[in-house]
């Protein structure tokens, strides 16, 4: 029989119900937050003279013993205890006797679970930010070394305009910076203590919620208890933040998969972070980025799942809410391992500058520069310049040349007023450097972006 069954329920609960109802198999993950919360709670109860010092000290010592038992692997998690909260309380009663029964004064499992889960999520926000900063350092290092590495910038996966590899990497740094900011915003917004709300309506005991919140490191105390015990927005936020992060990771993974194919050959994953085929000995497979791309799906699933659980619930606590934890645990673990392995895989991957450079010769990447030249220097309206450039590109194709390889004489056959300077303008490096607008790909602009991220990382590390 479940040890929570008491009061109105007289008979033993069915074993099947115990199994169905229990969350201990997964919410044991919250043991340290539960113990920390209970220690703060009894300190507050004692300060408010609701329990005496002797009981407080016995409870705290007992809780610390339990923490050690769990960390030493000696603790017995039993589904009969239903959840981590009852499990620890029952074990405390075994250890210290009747004083343990005072611990749950002026609280309920509803505010207790809201506290434990919120503390867990807040901490994970910090940990994920730290991991992302390590990834950002690796990306910045790659960017710093590749300001002069030209590659084709693409739209529709077609060669479009020349860019440098640093600039491409800095696009991902921009995404991960936004991710970091999202985790930090959530951390700030949700740094509010739920404890002391009790079941739903507050408590008649003379508690001090501010004091208890301070002990637990919260910035403030929640406003309305009915909302507080029902609120899982903090859990949704981390699920959403991880979903967006994984979407970014997945896009980078997709590019790494493409880049490491024979068709591109822009990067090569290190042996340490590649896998081989069981049958084709010549193969080196990008399993790491493929798995990262694949794992993004389950993380989206976890977000949709919790949104769906919550959408129809009347206030306040409903047992449906026990379904909030597994998805969050899974998404957090997925995000952590994903960032770690992406950091290592990217750090150890080799960048094939020559292959990138060679690819810039395909697709007439400086054709826009020719159209701009005709517009700015030969008096064409842009649409007419665009049309004539199309004809010149057709000529280059017929002659197996890239537009950047045409001679002055060849171009003059189409427009005699074109001058000598066009030859330089069409060089790919010059084409890239011409894009010097703020946030553009020119060497100067890329350097400014690198400086910006360097400064930002230094400040974030403080």
Phi and psi at residue 164, to the nearest 5°: -110, 160
Are 201 and 392 in contact, with CB atoms under 8 Å apart?
no
Cβ proximity to ligand ARG, 27 vs 33, nearer residue: 27
Residue 223, Cα to own-chain centre: how many angstroms?
Answer: 29
Cβ proximity to ligand ARG, 4 vs 142, nearer residue: 4
Are 419 and 373 in contact, with CB atoms under 8 Å apart?
no
Cβ proximity to ligand ARG, 111 vs 369, nearer residue: 111
Cβ proximity to ligand ARG, 100 vs 316, nearer residue: 316
Cα 99 to Cα 47, 56, 60, 63, 215, distances in angstroms: 16, 8, 11, 12, 22
Cβ proximity to ligand ARG, 152 vs 196, nearer residue: 196
Question: What's the rounded Cα separation, in Å, for the pair 198 and 389?
Answer: 73
Strands 220-221 and 192-193: parallel
Helices then strands (H, E): number in the chain? 19, 6
Taking the complex as a whole, the smallest distance from the CB of residue 132 to ligand ARG amounts, in Å, to 29
In our burial notation (b when 16+ CB lie closer than 10 A, e otherwise), range 30-48 reads bbebbbbbbbbbbbbbbbe
Taking the complex as a whole, the smallest distance from the CB of residue 113 to ligand ARG amounts, in Å, to 4
As given in the structure block, the two tokens for residue 456 are: 């930002």
Taking the complex as a whole, the smallest distance from the CB of residue 110 to ligand ARG amounts, in Å, to 5
Closest to 205 in 3D by CA, of 340, 129, 292, 102 = 102
Cα 408 to Cα 333, 392, 399, 422, 433, distances in angstroms: 59, 12, 15, 7, 21
Cβ proximity to ligand ARG, 322 vs 334, nearer residue: 322
Cα 178–Cα 180–Cα 186 angle in degrees, nearest 5: 100
Taking the complex as a whole, the smallest distance from the CB of residue 311 to ligand ARG amounts, in Å, to 17
Taking the complex as a whole, the smallest distance from the CB of residue 24 to ligand ARG amounts, in Å, to 8
Q: Which residues are registered as beta bridge partners of 450?
A: none
Taking the complex as a whole, the smallest distance from the CB of residue 77 to ligand ARG amounts, in Å, to 13
As given in the structure block, the two tokens for residue 62 are: 């007992």
Taking the complex as a whole, the smallest distance from the CB of residue 56 to ligand ARG amounts, in Å, to 24
Question: What's the rounded Cα separation, in Å, for the pair 426 and 138?
Answer: 33
As given in the structure block, the two tokens for residue 72 are: 């030493």
Cβ proximity to ligand ARG, 23 vs 445, nearer residue: 23
Taking the complex as a whole, the smallest distance from the CB of residue 186 to ligand ARG amounts, in Å, to 21
Phi and psi at residue 218, to the nearest 5°: -80, 155
Catalytic residues: 156, 277
Residues 6 or more apart whose CB falls under 8 angstroms from that of 398 comprise none
Question: What's the rounded Cα separation, in Å, for the pair 187 and 204?
Answer: 31
Cβ proximity to ligand ARG, 114 vs 150, nearer residue: 114
Residues that bind ligand ARG (CB under 6 A): 23, 27, 83, 109-110, 113, 317, 319, 321-322
């Amino acid at each position: 029989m479940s040890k929570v069954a008491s009061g109105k329920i007289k008979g033993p609960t069915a074993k099947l119900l115990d199994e169905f109802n229990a969350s201990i198999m997964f919410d044991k993950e919250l043991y340290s937050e539960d113990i920390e919360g209970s220690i703060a709670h009894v300190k507050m109860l004692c300060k408010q003279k609701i329990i005496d010092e002797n009981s407080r000290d016995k409870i705290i010592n007992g809780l610390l013993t339990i923490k050690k038992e769990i960390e030493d692997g000696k603790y017995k998690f039993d589904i009969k205890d239903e959840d981590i909260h009852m499990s620890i309380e029952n074990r405390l009663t075994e250890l210290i006797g009747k004083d343990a029964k005072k611990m749950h004064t002026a609280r309920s499992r509803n505010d207790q679970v809201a506290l434990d889960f919120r503390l867990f999520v807040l901490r994970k926000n910090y940990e994920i930010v730290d991991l992302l900063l390590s990834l950002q350092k690796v990306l910045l290092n790659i960017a710093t070394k590749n300001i002069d590495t030209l590659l084709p910038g693409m739209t529709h996966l077609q060669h479009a305009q020349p860019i440098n590899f640093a600039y491409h990497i800095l696009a991902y740094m921009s995404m991960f910076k936004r991710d970091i900011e999202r985790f930090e915003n959530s951390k700030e917004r949700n740094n509010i203590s739920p404890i002391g709300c009790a079941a739903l309506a507050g408590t008649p005991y003379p508690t001090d919620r501010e004091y208890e919140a301070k002990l637990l490191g919260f910035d403030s105390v929640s406003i309305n208890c009915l909302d507080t015990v029902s609120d899982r927005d903090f859990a949704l936020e981390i699920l959403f933040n991880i979903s967006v992060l994984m979407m970014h990771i997945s896009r980078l993974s997709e590019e790494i998969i493409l880049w490491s194919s024979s068709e591109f050959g822009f990067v090569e994953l290190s042996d340490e972070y590649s896998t081989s085929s069981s049958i084709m000995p010549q193969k080196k497979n990008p399993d790491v980025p493929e798995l990262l791309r694949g794992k993004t799906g389950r993380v989206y699933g976890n977000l949709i799942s919790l949104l769906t659980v919550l959408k129809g619930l009347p206030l306040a606590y409903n047992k449906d809410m026990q379904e909030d934890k597994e998805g969050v645990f899974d998404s957090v673990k997925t995000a952590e391992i994903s960032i770690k392995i992406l950091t290592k895989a990217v750090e150890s991957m080799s960048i094939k500058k020559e292959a990138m450079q060679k690819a810039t010769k395909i697709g007439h990447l400086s054709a826009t520069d020719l159209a701009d030249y005709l517009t700015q220097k030969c008096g064409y309206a842009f649409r007419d310049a665009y049309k004539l450039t199309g004809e010149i590109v057709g000529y280059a194709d017929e002659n197996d040349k890239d537009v950047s390889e045409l001679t002055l004489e060849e171009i003059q056959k189409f427009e005699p007023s074109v001058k000598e300077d066009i030859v330089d303008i069409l060089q790919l490096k010059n084409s890239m450097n011409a894009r010097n607008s703020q946030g553009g790909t020119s060497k100067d602009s890329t350097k400014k972006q690198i400086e910006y991220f360097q400064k930002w990382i230094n400040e974030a590390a403080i």
